[in-house]
């Protein structure tokens, strides 16, 4: 009992006196403490969001970089393999106007070459329509690209110059058709690594020629530059030609500077 009396007789601290004098301050202290915790939680939440967003951006950037590097490696490998194949070369054929033409006649121009045949039911018409669109897109862009589109037949038995001229009139006036003897076409196709094979004839002596479906880009120097498969759109081909033109012009500038 004496212990409790002594405890009650001890002097109170300033905080204790304040709390006894104003009991309502107890709830104020609790409110301020809770508010501080909430603000701290709010700050931590936003900081977590910003950190997560930053990490996500770094991850996405890394993925895009890796993808671009992988595509660059694949493109270099493709170019190296094409260089080994030595695609393209000199040729001598007869155009749809009956004029003998040599590959040297097209030097100074960009040439887009497609191999096909006039009796092709679907693929050749689709590719020639695409080629016509490429010509129009390049003319609309006025990029200073003088493009010569060439259609080379792989069916000399049926594709005379007159037949080719009539056939190409349905697509674009700037596509120049060419044909030749079987030996000439064999040599030209071989130089471009084009495969073609005549199929069996039906009762009406009609037949299909199986062939490679690729457009070849030849530069102003007469050298093979690039190729475009059936899955490429006209817009993609135009972009590819413009890109190759820039590369070609830059290489020529470097060559001139090297001589100087």
Indicate whether 15 belongs to any domain. no
Domain boundary (85, 103, 120) is at 85
Q: Are residues 151 and 110 in the same domain?
A: yes
How would residue 40 be classed by pLDDT, with cut points 50, 70 and 90?
A: low
| Residue 204: predicted pLDDT | 82
pLDDT per residue as tens digits for the range 179-219: 999 999 999 999 999 999 998 988 788 999 999 999 999 99
Q: Per-residue pLDDT averaged across 252-256, rounded?
A: 71
Q: Averaging pLDDT over each range in 38-47, 54-63, 84-93, 157-166, which range is the top one?
A: 157-166
Indicate whether 7 belongs to any domain. no
Q: Are residues 70 and 166 in the same domain?
A: no
130, 233 contact by CB (below 8 A): yes
Q: Are residues 174 and 243 in the same domain?
A: yes
| Residue 235: predicted pLDDT | 96
The answer to whether 111 is a known ligand-binding residue is no
Q: Are residues 96 and 209 in the same domain?
A: yes
The answer to whether 22 is a known ligand-binding residue is no
| Residue 63: predicted pLDDT | 66
Q: Is 145 buried (19+), middle (13-18) or exposed (0-12) by CB count in 10 A?
A: middle
Residue span of the structural domain in which 51 resides: 41-85
Residue 52 has pLDDT above 90, yes or no: no
pLDDT per residue as tens digits for the range 65-95: 666 566 555 555 555 555 545 898 899 999 9
- The H-assigned helical ranges of the chain are 2-9, 14-21, 25-85, 123-141, 161-168, 182-191, 234-259
Q: Are residues 150 and 49 in the same domain?
A: no
Q: Are residues 66 and 101 in the same domain?
A: no
Rounded mean pLDDT of the chain? Answer: 80
Q: Are residues 96 and 223 in the same domain?
A: yes
Indicate whether 202 belongs to any domain. yes
Q: Are residues 109 and 223 in the same domain?
A: yes
pLDDT per residue as tens digits for the range 100-128: 999 999 999 999 999 999 999 999 999 99
If one counts every other C-beta atom within 10 angstroms of the C-beta of residue 141, the result is: 11
CA–CA gap between residue 97 and residue 32 (Å, rounded): 95
Indicate whether 6 belongs to any domain. no
Indicate whether 78 belongs to any domain. yes
Q: Considering only 62-71, 133-142, 164-173, which range has the smallest mean pLDDT?
A: 62-71
Domain boundary (31, 55, 85) is at 85
In total, how many domains does the chain have? 2
78 φ, ψ (degrees, to nearest 5): -65, -45
β-pairing, 196-198 with 92-95? unpaired
Q: Are residues 74 and 167 in the same domain?
A: no
The answer to whether 124 is a known ligand-binding residue is yes
Give the CATH number, domain containing residue 152.
Answer: 3.40.30.10
Domain boundary (85, 117, 150) is at 85
More confident residue, 61 or 38: 61
Cross-strand pairs, 113: 150, 216
Q: Are residues 110 and 138 in the same domain?
A: yes
**pTM, to two decimals:** 0.66
Q: Are residues 159 and 56 in the same domain?
A: no
Residue 31 has pLDDT above 90, yes or no: no
Q: Which residues contact 36 (CB under 8 A, 6 or more apart)?
A: none
Q: Are residues 98 and 209 in the same domain?
A: yes
CA–CA gap between residue 236 and residue 14 (Å, rounded): 83
Q: Averaging pLDDT over each range in 19-23, 56-60, 117-121, which range is the top one?
A: 117-121
Indicate whether 209 belongs to any domain. yes
């Amino acid at each position: 009992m004496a212990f409790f009396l002594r405890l009650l007789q001890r002097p109170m601290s300033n905080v204790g006196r304040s709390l006894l004098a104003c009991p309502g301050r107890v709830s104020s202290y609790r409110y301020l403490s809770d508010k501080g915790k909430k603000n701290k939680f709010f700050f931590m939440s936003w900081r977590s969001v910003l950190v997560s967003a930053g990490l996500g951006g770094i991850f996405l950037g890394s993925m895009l970089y890796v993808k671009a590097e992988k595509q660059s490696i694949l493109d270099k490998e493709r170019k190296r393999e094409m260089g080994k194949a030595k695609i393209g070369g000199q040729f001598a054929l007869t155009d749809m106007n009956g004029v003998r033409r040599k590959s040297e006649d097209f030097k100074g121009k960009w040439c887009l070459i497609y191999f096909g045949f006039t009796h092709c039911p679907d693929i050749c018409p689709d590719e020639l329509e695409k080629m016509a669109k490429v010509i129009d897109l390049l003319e609309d862009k006025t990029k200073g690209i003088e493009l010569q589109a060439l259609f080379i037949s792989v069916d000399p038995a049926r594709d005379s110059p007159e037949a080719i001229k009539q056939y190409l009139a349905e697509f674009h006036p700037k596509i120049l058709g060419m044909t030749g003897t079987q030996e000439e076409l064999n040599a030209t196709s071989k130089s471009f690594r084009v495969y073609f094979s005549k199929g069996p004839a039906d009762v009406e002596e009609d037949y299909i020629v199986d062939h490679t479906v690729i457009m070849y880009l030849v530069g102003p120097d007469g050298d093979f530059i690039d190729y475009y498969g059936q899955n490429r759109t006209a817009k993609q081909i135009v972009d590819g030609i413009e890109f190759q033109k820039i590369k070609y012009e830059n290489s020529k500038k470097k060559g001139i500077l090297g001589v100087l």
